[in-house]
Structure 1
Amino acid sequence: MIALSDEQQAIVDAPLAPLAVVACAGSGKTHTAVHRLLEIRRRLGDGRGRVALLSFSNVAVKTFRDTYHPLAQTLPQGAARHRVEIDTLDGFITTNLLRPHAPRTMGCNRTPFLILGTEPFLQNKDFQFWAQPATGAAFPVPRSDIGDVIANFRAGAAQFEYRKHKALVPINNGPTVVARLGKIGGYTHSLGQYWALRTLQCQPLILAALARRYPHILIDESQDIGTLHQAILTQLAAAGSQISLIGDPHQGIYDFAGADGHYLARYHHQAGVLAYPLTRNFRSVPSIVTLANALSERNDTADRAAPGLPNGGYFIGYKKTERDKVIVAFQAAVISAGLSLARSAILCRGRAMADSVAGTDAPMGQGLVKLFALAAVLRDRRQDYLAAFIAVAGCVVGLLKNPPDGLLASISQPARFPEARPLRREIWKFARDPDTGLPGTSLLADTQWHPLLTTRVKALLQRLQKEFGLVPADHLGNKLAKTELPHAPLMSVPDLATEPQEVLRVDTVHKVKGEGLDALLYLVEKGHAEALLSGVDTELGRIGYVAMTRARNLAWVGVPANALSVLRPALIVRGFVEVGAT
């Protein structure tokens, strides 16, 4: 899709005012947002203000940048084409508020750093959060779960809760512990948003300067804006920034942060905000667009024509013990439809089911050895080298004596910490190479894999000490014990008759939001299927909608066999066809 549609062109040509763009799935939101950014920059001429285009994933940001820079060459010389900022919303907050200005509000004398939950200083009781359920005694939040301490902004005040089993449990000492962490410069992703808001509230001169610097801010995937983001944007808008939102309210699937799509859906009611629609789906075949309309009660149109090969939405029953048979059938359907397995995926509602399907749910071993084993399985079974690298990086940090604050974040976030590239390269080499680094999963875990792991990890730590001054912890043998490793390979050889032969991507729906897939298999429990069929009024229903609308050509839903007779009529009414039906 190169030329802009009439709806897209109307958005690009709209007055320089705040916009609320409510779009359907696959409607070219990215394409539209970049062209709107270009047009705003052109109209501002050599004005010193910057235009920000923000989203919620690094993948989207890369796409924005790759699209904008060639287009920017068409701008006149005086249009200050470089005065744009393309980043994630949290990256924008970190760059413009957290690092330069939040220390004054936090009460620390250093640049704030991201906490990931493995830092030794979290063992200090002063940094212990306590969750207080409605009934029963308070309990400590595990240090490793600090990323699940969620800050929200409701009724004009900050609230802190622990996200546990998809529920939010109030924290009874939230402000106290958050303030203590702030004094040493520590924050999590959620607490970073809290400190950014506090900085704007406590430093009005910074707020005014930021609004002058960014007179126009466009936010893609705006259904993901949570309560703290809303409060920050409200402050900026009141100070003079024009905030434009673009997204699909039916794809708001982060209820725990208040990101349920309602803010975007209601934004056009605010004074001065202009409403625009995007109703043409460029991604999916007509049968999938019809299915999406039935689920969301929209009336969008498909740009594509129906292909001659099998396409659309299908359902199939499965037994948990025989999931591989369904996956094999799905692979065969993808191939027969002329689609790419590499651009297809198996999707699940939650991480536990995704790990079970991928075979990474029960790594062997204990402690850091268990995490090394998980990294090996991620690499060898799923070819997920990035996840394996992050797991190995966490292990390495856990094997150091007094690692620097924020070390794991600097290793795992190359865009934010380019100075850590040499260290990152060493760990990458170890994580990806089974011959010289992290041993392969076909080895016997206790007698072959573990001795190699121990020897190679110690050699890696020696190199890191020599080259980067990172000192290994004491008693490495205890930390690398082979407890609970069996006399068997970490990963068995697939059964050639019944197991899938080509590795399909297995992920959660949340991880593929914003993507397009040739084909997908959405494996659900009965409750997930019922929510999908009930529409988009609940988060679980919206998750199902997001899953279905990722598909370009083929969308399968795998439902439990023991619920198939109950679900079949509703599936057919919604537009799904049973696999194998004539």
Structure 2
Amino acid sequence: MPPAGATTADDVLAGLDPEQREVASNPLGPMCVLAGAGTGKTRAITHRIAYGVHSGAYRADRVLAVTFTARAAGEMRTRLRGLGLPTVQARTFHSAALRQLQYFWPQAIGGPTPTVLKQKAPAVGEAGARLRLELDRVVIRDLAAEIEWAKVSMLTPETYRDAAARAGRSPADLDLTAMARLWETYEEVKSARGVIDFEDVLLLMAGVLADREDIAATVRGQYRHFVVDEYQDVNAVQQALLDQWVGQRPDLCVVGDPAQTIYSFTGATPRHLLDFARRRPDTRTVRLVRNYRSTPQVVGLANLVLDAGPRRADSVQLQAQRDGGPVPTLSAQPDDDAEASYVAAEVKKLLAQGVPASEIAVLYRVNAQSEAIEQALSAADVPYLVRGGERFFQRKEVQQAIVLLRGAVRGDDGSEPLGRLVRDILTGAGWSPQRPAGGAVLERWQSLNALAELADDLAAAGEGVRIRELVAELDRRAGEQHAPTVEGVTLASLHAAKGLEWDAVFLIGCSDGLIPISLAEGQQAIEEERRLLYVGLTRARTHLALSWAARNPGGRATRRPSRFLDAAAPVLGEGARSTPKSAKSAARAGGRGTKSVKPRTCRTCGATLESAAERKIGRCNDCPATYDEAQFEALRTWRLEVATQSKVPAFVVFTDATLVAIAERQPAGAADLARISGVGKHKLDTYGDYVLAVLAGDDPTEVATRCVTDRAASA
């Protein structure tokens, strides 16, 4: 029974649409919620938990709600508190696992719980140094990401190479064997330091629960009802941990959207969501299709882009519920700088119309695109903040301000309005009534001003709110990473924008090569890029402006609109087409000016080769290798020895794909070797004779030493 004065079960269901009500009113048993963008999924699942508790179906302290970001978990906790459920646990996978691991570590393993690495980069860099690899900061970041992918995929250094080859992985073009050795050395570095990383937290906890039935029984006794948000983003180790948490019980509700699957590069897969009902035959499946976020114009454009790709039976077709708004636009600009200036000018127009800066976002595919936008906004005197930078509560000025506020708690006798008192205190941290012009000073001022405005909001929400309550609110928000609103235009990558929304969205760089990114190879990768664009489009509530630039500043105008916008031409105009209609008609007719390109096929099975690596070796990844294993290993040994003695990564000598191609083609001489993709004139002159010597059966280590010695003598 709910406590006196609490929300009742009937109250919980009031105001929900039919689909949301179906989710909320069935709190027991397996449920799969396919929730489109902006359809109120958080509302539905928090009301499901609330209905379950207030109807007596289960206890609040027996529920565990899991999501993927601290911000999303904080939002869920805030909503649950508003529904009278302050004790429901809403956490990220890592937070929940770490809490359990710290509690059970003495019992399961013994000794103090190891410290969790905040960043992998230093340990990866040390591992590279031990292997005499010269790695720069960017490469180290990419290699750290590869280690994360391998660990969440539940691989080991021993199983990594084959799995990575099947997945077409190319970690900073590092040889897969060298990558496995780097990962192994990284684990040695961690062990020497007595630390673990975030992936270890999940792996260790899943392992403890699998090995210790007594601990698993304790956890399952504590949590009996589970909700998992953004289930399309679950990876293998998270699913393994979830399986251990749930056991054989039926009360699991998962929520996700296959159309928003954009993190496969991290190991996430929508298969867990798509196969959920098959794995649990009694599953009730509910589709949330009513979009309350965006205007019909925005929803219509997003549907056009998504529908142009392969449509699945489990996909969700959004239905707009809001009144109409402005039609989305597409602008073509001569170069990137002109595009940035255009966006800055349009932002200023919206600000003049009364749209708050915090309700405007500029989204892009890669972070490097933000530089031109930052310069243009600064020149236009428009405040902005870059999402994905330093977290709000980790900023030095914010920490200093909280210390000052905490010290003022005892002296607050209520004689002065909270907002004015807080601003007086924040003056000591650098706040002033006048907003600075720009730069780092403006960024600090914006952070402090956000604290002042939060004080205003708290004072307006209730009588007698003082600094003590403000400090408590800040402590709560810091724990949940629920930052107050900072006034400024948001700059964010499309990946970082997931889960967020704004009144106005500018989506820049809508050209082939950026959307889809040129690195995307194969149909699956291309379709994930389409979904990424779809996510960006559905972030906008009212205003949506797309743009693209014909070239880099000073370069040739070789770009064209994104192929994903072809289907949107009825809304955005004929300028949205990546290829004009006349050219498409000529291509279909086989007319003059068109070039027929015959797709390359696997020489073993005849399948079309999709990736550049497959085309290079002439064989798809699914077919068995056709080279002599011993000879290939000799080539790898030679390459690694050359790379080690030269103090360069192995891929600088030859990439994996090129080495496989050499082993499979068996070149008889320099002319044959030169015909292999990846062996240009420079590499032929530098390494050709030595590769042929290894193929002829010479000792690879001796050949490598001779190669390095000869190169040094001729330098």
Shorter-chain TM-score range: 0.5 to 0.7
AA in 1 matched with 2:317: N
Summarize deviations over 1:220-254 as a string: whole Å, max 9, x none.
12222122111211222335373321121221221
Residue 213 (structure 1) aligns with: 222
Change in 2 beyond 3 A, CA 1:440/1:110 = farther
Residue 571 (structure 1) aligns with: 565
Is the contact made by 2:328 and 2:544 (CA closer than 8 Å) also made in structure 1? yes
Is the contact made by 1:211 and 1:241 (CA closer than 8 Å) also made in structure 2? no
Q: Secondary structure at the match of 2:347?
A: helix
The alpha carbon displacement at 1:561 in A equals 2.0
The alpha carbon displacement at 1:6 in A equals 0.2
Q: Secondary structure at the match of 1:512?
A: coil
Structure 1 residues without counterparts, runs of 5 or longer:
73-80, 361-379, 397-410, 423-427, 445-501
Change in 2 beyond 3 A, CA 1:531/1:177 = closer
The structure number with the bigger radius of gyration is 2
Is the contact made by 2:27 and 2:57 (CA closer than 8 Å) also made in structure 1? no
Looking at structure 1, the residues matched to 393 and 54 of structure 2 have their Cα atoms a distance apart, in angstroms, of 45
Are 1:304 and 2:285 an aligned pair?
A: no
- Shifted more, 62-71 versus 20-29: the winner is 62-71
Residue 110 (structure 1) aligns with: 112
Looking at structure 1, the residues matched to 36 and 130 of structure 2 have their Cα atoms a distance apart, in angstroms, of 39
Are 1:192 and 2:195 an aligned pair?
A: no
AA in 2 matched with 1:274: R
RCO higher in 1 or 2 (8 Å CA, sep ≥ 6)? 1
AA in 2 matched with 1:197: A
Q: 1:553 aligns with which of 532, 542, 545?
A: 542
Residue 88 (structure 1) aligns with: 92
The alpha carbon displacement at 1:337 in A equals 7.1
The alpha carbon displacement at 1:546 in A equals 0.8
AA in 1 matched with 2:368: A
> Which residues of 2 match residues 379-394 of structure 1 at below 5 A?
382=384, 387=389
Q: Secondary structure at the match of 1:34?
A: helix
Are 1:330 and 2:342 an aligned pair?
A: no
Q: CA RMSD in A?
A: 4.9
Is the contact made by 1:518 and 1:551 (CA closer than 8 Å) also made in structure 2? yes
AA in 1 matched with 2:202: Q
> Which residues of 2 match residues 243-322 of structure 1 at below 5 A?
243-271=252-280, 272-297=282-307, 298-307=316-325, 310-322=326-338
Summarize deviations over 1:400-458 as a string: whole Å, max 9, x none.
xxxxxxxxxxx99x9xxx9xx99xxxxx99997399xxx998799xxxxxxxxxxxxxx
The alpha carbon displacement at 1:202 in A equals 3.1
Change in 2 beyond 3 A, CA 1:442/1:283 = closer
Change in 2 beyond 3 A, CA 1:33/1:566 = same
Residue 541 (structure 1) aligns with: 530
AA in 1 matched with 2:340: D
Residue 506 (structure 1) aligns with: 491
Looking at structure 1, the residues matched to 428 and 130 of structure 2 have their Cα atoms a distance apart, in angstroms, of 36
The alpha carbon displacement at 1:168 in A equals 11
Change in 2 beyond 3 A, CA 1:430/1:180 = farther
AA in 2 matched with 1:303: Q
AA in 2 matched with 1:233: L
AA in 1 matched with 2:50: L
Looking at structure 1, the residues matched to 29 and 172 of structure 2 have their Cα atoms a distance apart, in angstroms, of 42
Are 1:529 and 2:527 an aligned pair?
A: no
AA in 2 matched with 1:68: L
Summarize deviations over 1:544-575 as a string: whole Å, max 9, x none.
11111101112222212257984388636325
Change in 2 beyond 3 A, CA 1:388/1:62 = closer
AA in 1 matched with 2:229: D
What is the aligned length? Answer: 462
The alpha carbon displacement at 1:124 in A equals 9.9
Is the contact made by 1:220 and 1:247 (CA closer than 8 Å) also made in structure 2? yes
Is the contact made by 1:295 and 1:536 (CA closer than 8 Å) also made in structure 2? no
Is the contact made by 1:108 and 1:184 (CA closer than 8 Å) also made in structure 2? no
Is the contact made by 1:316 and 1:579 (CA closer than 8 Å) also made in structure 2? no
Q: 1:433 aligns with which of 417, 421, 430?
A: 430
Q: Secondary structure at the match of 1:347?
A: strand
The alpha carbon displacement at 1:213 in A equals 1.3
Residue 425 (structure 1) aligns with: none
Q: 1:63 aligns with which of 75, 78, 100?
A: 75
AA in 2 matched with 1:544: L
AA in 1 matched with 2:504: A
Looking at structure 1, the residues matched to 54 and 394 of structure 2 have their Cα atoms a distance apart, in angstroms, of 46
Is the contact made by 2:61 and 2:89 (CA closer than 8 Å) also made in structure 1? no
Structure with the higher helix share, 1 or 2:
2
The alpha carbon displacement at 1:21 in A equals 0.8
Is the contact made by 1:93 and 1:193 (CA closer than 8 Å) also made in structure 2? yes
Is the contact made by 1:392 and 1:431 (CA closer than 8 Å) also made in structure 2? no
The alpha carbon displacement at 1:531 in A equals 6.8
Q: Secondary structure at the match of 1:109?
A: coil
Change in 2 beyond 3 A, CA 1:569/1:275 = closer
The alpha carbon displacement at 1:30 in A equals 0.9
Q: 1:226 aligns with which of 235, 247, 256?
A: 235
The alpha carbon displacement at 1:538 in A equals 2.9
The alpha carbon displacement at 1:521 in A equals 1.0
The alpha carbon displacement at 1:530 in A equals 4.6
Looking at structure 2, the residues matched to 192 and 19 of structure 1 have their Cα atoms a distance apart, in angstroms, of 28
Residue 369 (structure 1) aligns with: none
Q: 2:362 aligns with which of 346, 366, 375?
A: 346
- Shifted more, 40-49 versus 61-70: the winner is 40-49
Looking at structure 1, the residues matched to 252 and 192 of structure 2 have their Cα atoms a distance apart, in angstroms, of 32
Change in 2 beyond 3 A, CA 1:434/1:123 = farther
Q: Secondary structure at the match of 1:228?
A: helix
Q: Secondary structure at the match of 1:314?
A: strand
Q: TM-score, normalised by structure 1?
A: 0.66
Summarize deviations over 1:366-397 as a string: whole Å, max 9, x none.
xxxxxxxxxxxxxx964569945779879x9x
Is the contact made by 1:250 and 1:536 (CA closer than 8 Å) also made in structure 2? no
- Shifted more, 28-37 versus 344-353: the winner is 344-353
The alpha carbon displacement at 1:62 in A equals 2.4
Looking at structure 2, the residues matched to 566 and 144 of structure 1 have their Cα atoms a distance apart, in angstroms, of 33
Are 1:517 and 2:498 an aligned pair?
A: no
Are 1:28 and 2:52 an aligned pair?
A: no
Looking at structure 2, the residues matched to 348 and 70 of structure 1 have their Cα atoms a distance apart, in angstroms, of 35
Looking at structure 2, the residues matched to 141 and 568 of structure 1 have their Cα atoms a distance apart, in angstroms, of 32
Q: Percent identity?
A: 21
Change in 2 beyond 3 A, CA 1:124/1:335 = closer
Is the contact made by 1:521 and 1:556 (CA closer than 8 Å) also made in structure 2? yes
The alpha carbon displacement at 1:333 in A equals 5.5
Change in 2 beyond 3 A, CA 1:237/1:152 = farther
Structure with the higher strand share, 1 or 2:
1
Change in 2 beyond 3 A, CA 1:66/1:173 = same
Looking at structure 1, the residues matched to 208 and 48 of structure 2 have their Cα atoms a distance apart, in angstroms, of 30
Q: Secondary structure at the match of 1:294?
A: helix
